[in-house]
Structures are given as C-alpha cells and as structure tokens.
Structure 1
Amino acid sequence: MSALLAPRPMIHAPARVATADPVRVCFMIDRLSRAGTETQLLALIRELDRTRVQPTLVLLDGEDDLSRTLEPTNIPVIRLGVQKLFSGRAVTAANRLRAFWREHRPEVLQTYFLDAAYLGAPLAKMCGIRNVLRVRNNLGYWLTRKHRVMNRMLRPFVDLTLTNTDLGKEALVEGDGVPLARVVVLSNGVDTARFKRFLLPDTSKRLVRVGCVANLRPVKNIDGLMRTARAALERFPQLVFEVAGDGEQRAELTALHAELGLGDRFILRGSVSDVPGFLRGVDIAVLPSHSEGMSNALLEYMAAGRAVIATDVGANARVLDGGRCGLVVPAGDSAAMVNAIGDLLANPLRAAGYGAAARRRVGAEYSREAMTKRFETFYGELAGR
C-alpha cells in the first residue's frame, strides 16, 4: 500500500473554549424596593452568569434604609443621592457617575423609570457607552403630556426600549411612536424554587382565604376589591380576604374598610417580605388591577399553584393561557369577580386543576432561569460576543 493510500491517524481538534470577556452591563434605577420591577431587576443581577455578563448598579437616590438593605453585595454599586433631577446635586452626581463609568467601562446601560433614564441616557452617550436601553414594562397609562414630550426628547439617546409583553410593545409603537425595530420584548420570570411543595388549593374548606399581592395604588383597584368582598360575603360567608402590600392609598383604604363594615373579613396586611409564606395560606389569588404589563404577582400566584382570578388587562389572559390556568374577568366588573369566586367555591376540583395547570405553565415558560438566559443571550448579541 502506498504512503498516499495508507490510513491516516485521526487527529482530534482541541475542545472549543469561549474566550470572550463578559459583557459589561450597568443597571440604573431610582432606588430599590420590594415592588415588582425592582424585584425583577435584583433577581436578574443575582442570577446572571458572571462569565457571560458583568453587572454594575447605579442608584439615582437609594439612600433610604430599605434600598440600602436590598443592595447586592457582590457587584459595584454607587448611590448618587439625587432626589430631584433638576437640582445642583444632580450636576455633582453626573460627575461622580462619569467617574464610575470610566472605572467600570460599561458596554450597555439599562435604565428603569423616568428620572434614571432622563439623567442616565444622555450622559451615557456623552461618555461613549455604545448601547443605551430603557425598560418600560407598563402600558403607559399614567403618562402625562409632559412625560410624552420629554420621552420624545430622550429618544435620540436611547438605542432600544425593552418591555415584557407584546402589548407593551404595541403601546410603545402606537402610543409613543417608538420605531418597531427599536423595541425588544423580554418576558419576566419567577423563582419557582421558592414555591416548592405547596399543596393545591382546597375551596371546599369551612374557611376559604382570598389573597391579593399589590401595592396600594389606584391602578391596583384595591378599593374595587373591597367592594367586591362586600358583595361576595353576602353570598359566601366562608370567605376571608387579605391584601399583602402597602402604599399611598393606605389611609384612604382604611377609611373605606370602616365604611363598608368589612371587619376581620378583609385584612390589609401591609408590606409582606415573605410572599411565598403569604400565598401558602391562600386558596384563591386575585388580581383586580385596572392595568398591568406582565404582572409579577400573577406569576407568583401561578408558581404557588393557587386558583387564580385576574382581570383581562395587559398580558394576564395570555399568561393564563386563555383561561386554561385560571379565570379571567373584565376589569372593573365586580359582579363578574364575585361570580368567578363562586364558581371556584362550587367546583373545588376545578380550582385545584387551575392551580396545577398554572404551576406547570410558569415552570415551563416563566421561570427565573428562562428569563436570565433570555437576557444573557440578548446582551451577548447586542455586544457582538
């Protein structure tokens, strides 16, 4: 056999090793709290693979005790102490922020809420940050004419706007005039591990608890839930309603509670740090909001396997798979909410089935791991890794 025809030894190519540096992403927000957007941001920072993404955090204010308590300890954080955007302190803060960025050299700036975007986006472009992102996960129901004018002024400094639903994308394009190509949808995720080993709801019990996790703000419609509770209790005296959350409407809702004579059948728990613990004691979880983007509370209800009733706003119906994982009722329709509660009380097996289906769906499509991978992939593509 000639040398040319002799079999050649097999040569194995060395394993391919990723050598790209992690994408440097700076997140910027007013302050930290236990509200939905802030919770999602902190979870993202915590879960990001540091070999793929290197995060830093800028807090426009962040000087209050709660915000300081929630600060991540394993990444660079700067507090600027700015409570009013148009102030002398903001000028000093801008200089400090430039120095922070010179040190950490972010490739991406991701801003949350208006003031952080108004200060951060133009300054980032002046400092040469290539990719400036805004996050807007609501549907813009609260935007005034002044806000819309300022948003148009800000647009040249923003490369992409992130939102968590197709409805949010539609609102940005049709309502705010953001070009379609400059809007990216990245869905939220929930930490399903916090809700393991929850029993499915039992609506046949002598006492059935109806729970809601919400900030006490008008858009969350807790006053409407109180009126719903008043009507429901006349038909279903076995119910107890509980709301976990605090906010600007606390005094107003306390007065309404007394006016409606709800007594110990409707409890305003205030701020609750252990949401899984709260939901463990709930059989029916309700979301009565007038407007939502993708509700973090709804994802938590589903992860906990509760029997869910949600208003038909934002992404609620889609997340609940068109009603296969819970009941969807018209927003502001108290009678429909009462009837939905009655349906779950009359059909305990159906209520448990909704809980089981909801848990499966959130685990498959809306887990924290899935959300984090979506963002990691997005940042890598954005930075050309």
Structure 2
Amino acid sequence: MRIIHILNHTRRLNGNVHAAIDLACAQVKLGHDVLVVSGGGDFDRLLAGNKVAVERIDQERKPLTVLKALPAFRRLVKTWKPDIVHAHMMTSAVLAFPVCRLSGIPLITTVHNAFEKSAVLMGLGNRVVAVSEAVGQSMRERGIAARKLHVVLNGTIGSARFDGRSRTPAQMHRPNILFVGGLHPRKGLPDLLEAFRLTRQAGIITHLYIAGGGPFETEYRRLAEETGHVDAITFIGAIDEPFSYMMGADIFVLPSHADPAPLVLSEAREAGCAVIGADVDGIPQLLGYGEAGMLTPPRDPQALASLLIELLSDPRLLEVWKSRSQLNLGNLTIERVARETFDVYKSAMPFRARPTAAPA
C-alpha cells in the first residue's frame, strides 16, 4: 500500500508528531511505501534513515500559506499516487480534504488532542482514528458519526525513535518519584508537588525528579521551593530521551488534568516503573483500567499522596506494582498500532481495491 502522512511539521514538540513518525516507520517495516509531507523538522533525518520518503510543504496556519500549499499538495498526490492519505493535525486535514475529494483517495484523520475545539475538523476524514476509547467517546459526543470512528490505542514499544537508545538507568536518589511532561497546567505538576510535600510531611524519605520544559517552569520552581523540601526536588529540564530516568525510577506519576493517550505511559511501563496516573481521558486504558498501574482522581493531591505513601512505606508492594506494569505489555507496541491502522485504511477503500492482508 502507498501511504501519505501529512502533518504541519516534524519537530520534537508534540506527542502527535511522535505518534505519526512512529507509525510511518513501522508501516515501512511492514512493507508499505510511505511518504511524510510536512513543513520539516527534527525527525526528517530519522524518517529518511528508516526508508520513509520526505517532502516539504509549508503548512503554517495562515490562509495565504494554506492556499499556496493546496496546489503543491495536489501536484504531489497526482505524482505519487497514494492509496491513502493520513492527516494528523487540523491544518493538514483541511488541506488534504479537497485534494482527496477531487482525487478519489480516502482521507484518514487521527484525533490526537480531543480537548482542542478545532478537533471536530478531523471529521473531514472518511475514517477518523481516535487514540483511546475516551477520545472516541468525546468525538461521538461532538457529532462525529460512529460509523467513521475507529479506536487505535497509542503505543510506542518498538518505535524507530528508540533504536539504539541506552537502557542504563540514570543515577538517582532512591526511593524516588519521576514526572515526565510539559511544564504547563494540563499536566497537573502542581498537584504532584503538593502530594510530594504531604508525602514528605508524613515522614517518607523520597526524592522527586521532574523532566520537561515549558512556559510555567519558573512558577513551578517557585512552588517547589514553597514545599519546604526543594532540596529533594530535581528539575532535570527538557531532554530528548528520558528513558534512562525511567529505568532508574521507582514510581512514575502522571497527574494530568486532560490527556487523550499519553505516549509516555507506555515508555514508563516498558521501563518497569510502578505507575500512578490520573483517572482521566485515555490514561486508564493505557494502564489497563487499574490492572497495570494505579489510578488517582485528577486534581486531588491528598489522594495522590496517599498512594505515594502506601507504595513508599511497603517495598514489597512497590515491587508488586513494578511487576504489574508489565501486564499485557504487548498491547502497547507500535507494530500493533500499525496493523490496526492498516485495518482502518482497508475499511475506507473501495471494496474492489482493498488489499487482502497486511504485509508480513
């Protein structure tokens, strides 16, 4: 099958970019011909190294830029002759829709961030992929026809982005707690800082590591100082590869207020952390609805502190939850994502043109 993925850019800024890059590389491994069309970015070299073709078309969200991109994308589609076009961002979907309609090529869209108001534009696709059951439900409530919607849960294990990465644990104080995410309110870091304060106040000796950058870093550093335990809090900063910290972590915490299907959870589970996640959006599904990780109410530092105290007070229980993170881990592979996505593609194609099976 010949597949075009279209997205605004390939920079290391968004989880949806990571998911699209992972999928494109996995599809090549399964024998498909794949082209990524974007404004370019950090991952172009990785794509080329994994035999994914790359073309640049500026898709900045400006009317004039999109108007210029339309004929360029139309020419590319006529030349490359894809079986499927797959859009991963709202601007890309709007750009691809008329071209696919005129060309008679099925358009697939993936909703990565259902909390964005403009996510409803992803309904332009002949098929709409939701990255978790929660995202699928959200899109149905917003008027996307159920017949269009398919849930393909995010997964990262086996991603080409991780080829050759070190599995040596980072040097960290033990026992410890790790947060990886953007430093902005949606990720709920202030809740974790307060829960950490309560945990230390209960007499539990532990250290908190915070990996990530963002516009609220200065404010969150101030909140860390206000806990009275800033000497036990380390801001690692923004890093491209946090896996070594996950390998060295005891407890991974994601206290998000909204999170459609965070890729970081499959990485934390692969690393063997005990995992605590907020009971919101796609997080429960990624944690096996509580089987592979502990769930806590969002925006509730006291409840989160209670779980931290429970785990850190009982080394045997901590080991149990580290082991449970490995339950059904195969469901979080990028190969499973690629094969399920192939089934979505097939369902969107005219019956006479459908391939009989995914390549081996």
Alignment TM-score, normalising by the size of structure 1:
0.81
Counterpart contact for 1:246–1:270, Cα < 8 Å: yes
CA distance in 2, matches of 1:165, 1:211: 24
Q: Which residue of 2 aligns with 1:46?
A: 25
CA distance in 1, matches of 2:334, 2:99: 31
- Aligned to 1:227, the other structure's residue is in SS state helix
C-alpha displacement of 1:317: 2.5
CA distance in 2, matches of 1:94, 1:206: 53
CA distance in 2, matches of 1:27, 1:50: 16
Tell me if 1:313 matches 2:280.
yes
Tell me if 1:32 matches 2:10.
yes
In structure 2, the CA distance between the partners of 1:309 and 1:177, relative to structure 1 (3 Å rule), is same
In structure 2, the CA distance between the partners of 1:260 and 1:69, relative to structure 1 (3 Å rule), is farther
Q: Which residue of 1 aligns with 2:105?
A: 130
Q: Which residue of 2 aligns with 1:79?
A: 56
C-alpha displacement of 1:339: 0.7
Q: Which of 252, 257, 261 is the equivalent residue of 2:224?
A: 257
In structure 2, the CA distance between the partners of 1:79 and 1:248, relative to structure 1 (3 Å rule), is farther
CA distance in 1, matches of 2:44, 2:28: 24
Q: What is the letter of the counterpart of residue 4 of structure 2?
A: C
Q: Which of 123, 140, 145 is the equivalent residue of 1:173?
A: 140
Of residues 254-263 and 213-222 in structure 1, the stretch that sits farther from structure 2 once superposed is: 254-263
In structure 2, the CA distance between the partners of 1:350 and 1:72, relative to structure 1 (3 Å rule), is farther
C-alpha displacement of 1:77: 1.4
- Aligned to 1:181, the other structure's residue is in SS state coil
Q: What is the letter of the counterpart of residue 220 of structure 1?
A: K
C-alpha RMSD of matched pairs (Å): 2.8
Counterpart contact for 2:158–2:333, Cα < 8 Å: yes
Q: Which residue of 2 aligns with 1:371?
A: 337
Q: Which of 98, 104, 109 is the equivalent residue of 2:80?
A: 104
Counterpart contact for 1:32–1:71, Cα < 8 Å: no
Q: Which residue of 2 aligns with 1:293?
A: 260
Tell me if 1:209 matches 2:186.
no
CA shift digits 1:237-288 (9 cap, x unpaired): 5211112222232333234334445434222222222222120111000010
Q: Which runs of 5+ in 1 are unaligned?
A: 1-22
Paired residues for 1:295-374 under 5 Å: 295-363=262-330, 365-374=331-340
C-alpha displacement of 1:161: 0.9
CA shift digits 1:100-152 (9 cap, x unpaired): 112111121111122222222233323x14211111133x3342xxx37xx46
The percent of aligned pairs where both chains have the same amino acid is 19
- Aligned to 1:180, the other structure's residue is in SS state coil
C-alpha displacement of 1:192: 5.4
CA shift digits 1:55-94 (9 cap, x unpaired): 11111x33x5x3555544422212223433212x333222
Q: What is the letter of the counterpart of residue 180 of structure 1?
A: A
- Aligned to 1:313, the other structure's residue is in SS state coil
Q: Which of 271, 289, 305 is the equivalent residue of 2:238?
A: 271
How many pairs align? 344
Q: What is the letter of the counterpart of residue 25 of structure 2?
A: R
Q: What is the letter of the counterpart of residue 379 of structure 1?
A: Y
Counterpart contact for 1:42–1:72, Cα < 8 Å: no
